[in-house]
Amino acid sequence: MVLRPTFCPRPGGRSQGLPSSCGHRGGSPIAVKCTSKRWRRRRVRTRGGQAVAHIVVRTLLRHAWHHGQHWLRRHLDRWGSSKRPAGWGAMRGCDDAGMRELNQLIDVEEPAWPELRETLGGGSVPVEVLPADTDVARTSLLQLQVTARSYLGAVVLHCGGLVVDNGWVRVFGSPLEGAVPSLAQVNQFPGAFDSAWQPDAGLVVAHDVLGGVFALNGGAPGRAGRPGAPGEIVYFAPDSLRWEALGAGHSAWLAWLVSGALAEFYTDLRWTGWQDEVRALKSDQGLSLFPPLWSAEARQDISATSRRAVPMAELLGVARDSCREFDGVDPGLLGAV
């Protein structure tokens, strides 16, 4: 059986032919790539009550000033030294290139790790914190130029990674060799510190087992063909083959991951007994479904799909190739694993 998407001629329309669970119809007896807003629209929501809302608000307030100052520093550096305010480099304790030394990134007031550890431990889903490789952590933090005051810096410095909700989501950190992919590997960091290097479109921070990708937007998401604002978390959805803005920054997104909201986020993409299948996967594997997630058949009954473990590299490669073929758009780097 060959699966292919069918497209309707009306502007903005997608599928026509086979009835699908999102209400589209058309004439093809084969598979339909159905991408109505019902399937594509996702936002980070905190319906778990005041406790979750409190975590998110507290996180945003705590880190807003720090991230704002970091953004300003980076952009002033790009303008060149002649356009920086007088004394700017001296005030930061940085060299003329605007890069901070490792000790400036680590030795900070109010590091985020104690609070993040409390948030992870108080969540409503199981979270495994993997041990970190100190050398990898320090090298990655220096390359990223983020401090330990941020949740991103805390994850990179103190975690080998986070295995969330029985392994459904894997957040990348600085793991021991051979354990799981590192943030540096996934985003193809240079082998040695390079002050000129930046992720092309943003930073891939996590994968889910279906081939979904969570990424932190860079400074110009529009130029990279991605939705959302700079510094916003976006999600490459394997059921629509598109990037979707989630309406939250990295810190709020991490708190949301462990709040129990994943059950709602993936409500149409889980089946009875998924926990056992996911726990059986290796750290570099995901689940390939047939018919594919973007087909109407999979939407009608996700539990009726056949599923097999495949390397994540294969799963992400198929998703990227499918996006190019069906929509004529390259989604960019989905992670090198």
- Statement to judge: residues 62 and 128 lie in one domain: yes
Pair 6, 118 in one domain? no
Do 198 and 120 lie in a common domain?
yes
List beta partners, residue 286: 310
107/216 same-domain check: yes
Could you give the angle at which helices 50-79 and 250-257 cross, rounded to 10 degrees?
150
**Residue 297: enclosing H or E segment and its boundaries?**
helix 296-300
Judged by DSSP in three states, 195 sits in: coil
Residue-level pLDDT at 42: 57
192 and 68 within one domain: yes
Structure-block tokens of residue 198? 């930046």
| φ, ψ at 185 (rounded to 5°) | -65, -45
pLDDT at 299: 84
Residue pair 214/203 in contact (Cβ under 8 Å)? The answer is: no
Residue 43: strand, helix, or coil: coil
**CA-based nearest residue to 241, from 162, 136, 181, 322:** 322
Task: Give pLDDT tens digits for 3-32.
Answer: 433 322 222 332 222 222 333 222 222 233
Domain shared by 78 and 221, yes or no:
yes
- Indicate whether 103 and 172 sit together in one domain: yes
Question: Parallel, antiparallel, or unpaired: how do β-strands 242-249 and 127-130 relate?
Answer: unpaired
Q: What is the pTM of this model?
A: 0.76
Q: Which of 215, 237, 257 is the last residue of a domain?
A: 257
Same domain for 100 and 117?
yes
Parent domain of 19: 1-41
Total count of domains within the chain: 2
Q: Is residue 1 part of a domain?
A: yes
Are 34 and 101 contained in the same domain?
Answer: no
Spell out, as residue ranges, where the chain has pLDDT lower than 50: 1-41, 46-97
| Amino acid of residue 14 | R
36 shares its domain with 66: no
Mark whether 13 and 121 lie in a shared domain: no
Domain end, chosen from 257, 292, 318, is at 257
Asked if residues 119 and 127 have their Cβ atoms less than 8 Å apart, the reply is no
Pair 90, 191 in one domain: yes
Residue 106 forms part of a structural domain: yes
Coil, strand or helix at 117: helix
Beta bridge partners, 169, equal 164, 208
Whole-number Å distance between alpha carbons of 67 and 69: 5
